Structure 1
Amino acid sequence: MAIQILGMIWHREASEIIPAQTAFDKNYIGRIARAHEDAGFDRILVGYWSDQADGFLITAHAAAQTSKIKFLLAHKPGFVAPTVAARKLATLDQLIDGRLAVHIISGGNDIDQRKDGDYLDKIQRYERSDEFLDILKKSWYSKQPFSYQGQYYQVEDAYAEIQPFQKQIPIYFGGSSEIALKIAAKHADVYALWGEPLAGAQEHLKKLSPLLEQYQRQLAYNISFRPIIADTEKQAWEKAQDIYQLAKKQIEDLGFKDTRRKPQSTGGERLIAAAKQGEILDRNLWTGITSLVQGSYNSTALVGTAEQVADSIANYYALGIHSVLIRGFDPVQDALDYGKTLLPTLREKTALIDQRISETV
């Protein structure tokens, strides 16, 4: 199984070290999407924010600027009826010739959810996601009208003539809580992890194994990192420290220093717990930015030469995590740099792992 390598795009030039100069830049969407396609990425994530541009439209625009790269659209249940969301996703998949996957995000922060009028608690949001995915799949694949009576959604004689371009739109799902793992085992095609140490990642796989047996399903796995690469290991760590100082200054300039809240998501709590174990874990997993942003998103970095970072990712691949999402702190330039060295090295190393496994079977 060849490794799948994902990147991430958004609607303006901005990062932890690059202050945003505008609220929206349609030309940047095309530029960052093409950079990932040119670099050889397989798929790119379009994220979801409660205060930013619409991901459906960003995906459609980026797809029009590219020809082969695939997309992973983040979507939060609760704000669009599942039957409507199913038609929107199917339409988008038709428009972009089957290059779509969807990443279902239940929402890990009460404050952020309330910005869009959602007052359910965390458990209720995951229960709603379960029902949402039940209906989503029925809308995509039912050949006749269906009805559904749930706690959060009820539909009667629902039917969608518009079907996805693909036989099946892949569903990604994340979350480290017990209910999140159960829903992932029931519904997901790909389970998404944040960049934990090897032991933590392996723990997730072990927890999911009995749940998958219960549902008689199989899963693929994706893990996310923020690689920091340079020609030498010393230069890479110097680069990491420069990134830390720039990110720290930007947080302070924006006035976030004293308003950061403890993450409500179990995934964020796990990242913080990992950061408390040390700034450098395993061989080169760096938690500096994780501590700075208090585990509020995928912020762990792998630091070193392209060879060293590829070796580290290959260790996760050997565990059975055959997909990785990587994004840098200088988004366009880092994507292009990854394409020159990291991506080909990583594909070579993981292909050797596959070869060794096939020779022992």
Structure 2
Amino acid sequence: MPIEFIGIAATQEISESGSATPAPASARDGVSTQTETGHAAGPVVQPGYLRELARAHEESGFDRVLVAHSSASPDGFTVADQILTHTDRLGVLLAHRPGFVSPTLAARKFATLDAFHPGRIALHVITGGDDADQARDGDFSDKPTRYRRTDDFLDVVRKEWNSTQPFDHDGEFYRVRAGFSAVRPAAPIPVYFGGASEDAVRVGGRHADVYAFWGEPLAGIAERIREVRAAAAPYGRDPRFSVSLRPIPAATEAEAWQRAREILRLTKERAGEIRKAFNLDHAEQRGSQRLLEYAAQGEIHDKRLWTEIAKTTGAAGNSTALVGSYEQVAESLLDYVALGVSTLLIRGFAPLADARDYGTLIGLVRAEVAESAEAEEAPVPA
């Protein structure tokens, strides 16, 4: 199975040194303008920086970049179109929260992007685990309700994409009469899905083409793969799987750990500022809880999965790292591949520099996967 690499998009430059003047709080857009070690600088939307970052990912061999979402982020559809327009083959994984745009309109928006950039757009369904962030956009429903709404939302989206005749829909949250779209994707738009709760697994098992996990130890990922496969089986679905990690590679293991300790130092210095800037509460998210449980068990899991950033930030999203030489980190990524993971979402702590640097990791992983495939296909001597 081909290995897919996904990076991260951002519309605002990050100053890793901390010397630049941070953007005012009212101008920050949460995840896309902050890192654990850097300050957002300048306008929230910097077209030139976004283009440079996208091209760096393309040149390094990434397949897609994630356009993340928060209640304060720039419009993801516009950001996605800019990335797709200014690159040649790079795809976009566009995060979208059901509940704020009608599913028929959302389906047409994705299909329209696909019409202009065939095969390069994918939908990442983010149901929303933070009640406060949902409320900032006017949604006061609880998590179980949101997951039922997501289930209904995706039913309508697929009907809008696939129906060649007008369709009706009567669901718990959405009713449609004679729904029809003049623009439909020529090939299915992949649906990625994230979430660690029982509700998430239930709904994602029914709908996900790719189910996304945060970077847990290998045993945890194996457990989660089994859970999702069991949830998907009654619907005849066989999803692929993604793991999100924060690689910290260097020429030598010692150099990698030196950088990791510096990242941790800066993260601890900025912990309060990060929580204020992100303005998110992950305490009720099962995915964050799992990462913190692993962090409490030890700083390092498996060969080199490092949990200290997750522990320091309260597991605010994708926050576990792989630390080691390029070859060592590639080896650890391949350990996830061996479990059945086919998508690796890797992002660093210096967005642009790391996007360029990760080309080495991507090359090592793909070379090993290709070599293994050739060995499996080689004829057995008589």
TM-score surpassing 0.5? yes
**Contact 2:98–2:126 (Cα < 8 Å) also in 1:** yes
Give the equivalent residue in structure 2 for 1:13. 13
Give the equivalent residue in structure 2 for 1:223. 243
Residues in 1 aligned to 2:180 and 2:97: alpha-carbon distance in whole angstroms: 22
Residues in 2 aligned to 1:185 and 1:293: alpha-carbon distance in whole angstroms: 29
Structure 2 unaligned residues grouped into runs of 5+: 15-34
Q: How much identity, in percent, do the aligned residues show?
A: 44
Q: CA deviation at 1:355?
A: 4.2
Specify the SS of the correspondent of 2:303. Answer: coil
Specify the SS of the correspondent of 2:212. Answer: strand
Q: CA deviation at 1:139?
A: 0.3
Residues in 1 aligned to 2:332 and 2:187: alpha-carbon distance in whole angstroms: 34
User: Given the alignment of the two structures, is residue 48 of structure 1 paired with residue 86 of structure 2, yes or no?
Assistant: no
**Contact 1:227–1:303 (Cα < 8 Å) also in 2:** yes
Give the equivalent residue in structure 2 for 1:142. 163
- Match of 2:120, as an amino acid? R
Q: What TM-score do you get using the length of structure 1 for normalisation? A: 0.95
Specify the SS of the correspondent of 1:272. Answer: helix
Give the equivalent residue in structure 1 for 2:51. 30
- Match of 1:143, as an amino acid? T
Residues in 2 aligned to 1:186 and 1:114: alpha-carbon distance in whole angstroms: 27
User: Given the alignment of the two structures, is residue 269 of structure 1 paired with residue 284 of structure 2, yes or no?
Assistant: no
Relative distance call for 1:44 and 1:253 in structure 2 (3 A) is closer
Give the equivalent residue in structure 1 for 2:299. 279
Residues in 2 aligned to 1:358 and 1:275: alpha-carbon distance in whole angstroms: 40
**Contact 2:125–2:193 (Cα < 8 Å) also in 1:** yes
Give the equivalent residue in structure 1 for 2:98. 77
- Match of 1:210, as an amino acid? A
**Contact 2:122–2:190 (Cα < 8 Å) also in 1:** yes
Residues in 1 aligned to 2:206 and 2:50: alpha-carbon distance in whole angstroms: 34
- Match of 1:263, as an amino acid? A
**Contact 1:310–1:349 (Cα < 8 Å) also in 2:** no
Cα deviations by residue, 1:215-269 (Å, 9 ceiling, x for unpaired): 1111111101000011110110110010111122223456749x88552111111
Q: CA deviation at 1:359?
A: 6.0
Give the equivalent residue in structure 2 for 1:182. 202
Specify the SS of the correspondent of 1:137. Answer: helix
**Contact 2:209–2:239 (Cα < 8 Å) also in 1:** yes
Aligned with residue 106 of structure 1, among 127, 130, 135: 127
Q: CA deviation at 1:177?
A: 1.2
Residues in 2 aligned to 1:129 and 1:253: alpha-carbon distance in whole angstroms: 32
Specify the SS of the correspondent of 1:41. Answer: coil
**Contact 1:311–1:349 (Cα < 8 Å) also in 2:** no
Aligned-residue RMSD, C-alpha? 1.8
Cα deviations by residue, 1:128-179 (Å, 9 ceiling, x for unpaired): 0000000000001101111111111111111111112x31000000111112
- More divergent stretch after superposition (131-140 vs 238-247): 238-247
Aligned with residue 336 of structure 1, among 348, 356, 359: 356
Residues in 1 aligned to 2:96 and 2:379: alpha-carbon distance in whole angstroms: 41
Residues in 1 aligned to 2:162 and 2:3: alpha-carbon distance in whole angstroms: 28
User: Given the alignment of the two structures, is residue 167 of structure 1 paired with residue 187 of structure 2, yes or no?
Assistant: yes
Residues in 2 aligned to 1:159 and 1:255: alpha-carbon distance in whole angstroms: 43
Structure 1 unaligned residues grouped into runs of 5+: none
- Match of 1:350, as an amino acid? V
Aligned with residue 348 of structure 1, among 351, 360, 367: 367
Give the equivalent residue in structure 2 for 1:288. 308
Q: What TM-score do you get using the length of structure 2 for normalisation? A: 0.90
- Match of 2:95, as an amino acid? A
Which ranges of 4 or more aligned residues in structure 1 deviate by more than 3 Å?
A: 252-257, 259-262, 352-361
Aligned length: 358
Residues in 2 aligned to 1:218 and 1:253: alpha-carbon distance in whole angstroms: 42
User: Given the alignment of the two structures, is residue 303 of structure 1 paired with residue 323 of structure 2, yes or no?
Assistant: yes
Q: CA deviation at 1:118?
A: 0.5
Residues in 1 aligned to 2:205 and 2:308: alpha-carbon distance in whole angstroms: 32
